[in-house]
Amino acid sequence: MTGRLGMHVPLRADPAFRWLVAWSLGAHLGLGMVLTLSPSGRALIPAPHAVMVELLTALPGAPAHRPRRQVVDEPVVIPKRPKPAKPVSPRPEARKPPPLTAAQLIAKIRKEIPAEAAGPGTSNPAARSGFVDPLLAAYRSRLQARLRRNWSGARAFAAQPSLLARFEVEINQAGKLVGIAQREGSGNRYFDESAERAIWRAAPFPAPPRGALTLDVNFRPGAVF
């Protein structure tokens, strides 16, 4: 048989060729099964270094009060917090619970891991060790320095080291400030204002290494004494 381009194509009806193709397919399928299902096969899954860290940092506690937000230039959409999965009432006749969906698994992990203890910069060494994306870690350091440099008046509150103000800050892929929302007040509105000013003054930020970013920024006066 001659194809359009004049190449000679082996006859499909050749039993040796058919046997060879079948053997090759079987071998590939078998190898694929072994690699996928064997414990060592999991090593082929890309190591989720940054994935683990950022998953933990993305689990802040519920805001103490309704966030106050400001729109900068364009409408800001801060993703709503996922509603807690509705409890699935087990069927009386079912002996095993149904397998969890991905969303339920995420919700379960969020419930089990305290956000404060798991975030980077925390004192929990287990949470910090080995899971820091170097690019994001370097970027975070740059942001810290930039925010410190632009934080006026922090000295005025140095005698109250327990103050803590939390902000959610959205920046786009170019580093432009897109939105600020105060997630938790310190109880001292002047301190909160000084922290908010630091964010405004520090903007625009360096371009994030992996595209648009939502920052959970925590301001503390720092202990002078």
Which residues here bind another protein, judged by CB under 8 A? Answer: 45, 48, 50-55, 57-58, 99-103, 105-106, 119-121, 133, 136, 139-140, 143-144, 147-149, 151-159, 188-190, 193-198, 200-201, 208, 210-222, 224-225
Q: Considering the complex, state which of residue 99 and residue 125 has its C-beta at the smaller distance from another protein.
A: 99
Q: Considering the complex, state which of residue 14 and residue 41 has its C-beta at the smaller distance from another protein.
A: 41
Distance of CA 220 to the CA centre of its chain: 23
Q: Least distance to another protein from the beta carbon of 121, Å?
A: 5
User: Cis (ω within 30 of 0) for the bond into 204?
Assistant: yes
φ and ψ of 192, to 5 deg: -60, -40
The Cα 211–Cα 40 span in angstroms is: 33
Q: Considering the complex, state which of residue 22 and residue 137 has its C-beta at the smaller distance from another protein.
A: 137
Beta bridge partners of 69: 181
Q: Least distance to another protein from the beta carbon of 55, Å?
A: 4
Q: Least distance to another protein from the beta carbon of 6, Å?
A: 43
Q: Considering the complex, state which of residue 82 and residue 90 has its C-beta at the smaller distance from another protein.
A: 82
Sign of torsion over alpha carbons 215, 217, 55, 105: negative
Q: Least distance to another protein from the beta carbon of 5, Å?
A: 39
Q: Which residues of 140-177 are buried (b: 16+ CB within 10 A; e: fewer)?
A: beebeebbeeebeebeebeeeeebbbbbbbbbbeebbb
Q: Least distance to another protein from the beta carbon of 131, Å?
A: 10
Q: Considering the complex, state which of residue 26 and residue 82 has its C-beta at the smaller distance from another protein.
A: 82
What do you get for the CA distance between the two ends of the chain, in Å? 91
